Structure 1
Amino acid sequence: MQRAQEEIEALRRRLAEVEVAARRYRALVDSSAVSVQVYRGDGTSDAVNGAYEQLWRVTAAEVAAYNVLADPQVRAHGIMPLVERVFHEGRSAQMPSIRYDPQKNESVAAGQAAWVASAMSPVVRVDGTVEEVVHIHLHVGELKQTEEELREHNRRLEEAVQARTAELASKLRLIESQQEVIRELSTPIIEVWDGVITLPIVGLVDSVRTAEIMDSLLQAVARTRARFAILDLTGVEVVDTGTASHLIGMIQAIRLLGAEGILTGIHPLIAQTIVALGVDLTRVTVLARLRDALQHCIARQGERGRGPV
Structure 2
Amino acid sequence: MEVAAEADIKEQVQVTVISEIEVEEQAFASSIVKLEVDNEDLHLGGKLPKELTENTARAISSNVGRSGVRGDVIYLQHGKYKGKPATLLAFKFHFAFEQNSTNRFSHAEIRVAFDSSDNSASPGSKPAVRHYSPALLCGPSSTGQITKSISVSPSITTPTAPVQIGIEVPMTRSTTVARDFQMKIVGEPWASDEDAEDDDMVRWKVDENYAQADGVPTDLKTAVLVQHTGEAFHATVHIKARTRMGISLFGWPWSKPTPLVVSNKSSFGAAVLPEDFSTLEEHHWLQLTEFHGRVARIRVSDTSKEKLC
Specify the TM-score bucket, using the shorter chain as the normaliser: under 0.3
- Which is richer in strand? 2
- Which is richer in helix? 1
TM (norm. structure 2) is 0.17
Indicate the structure (1 or 2) with the bigger Cα radius of gyration.
1
Identify the structure with bigger relative contact order (alpha carbons < 8 Å, sequence gap 6+). Answer: 2
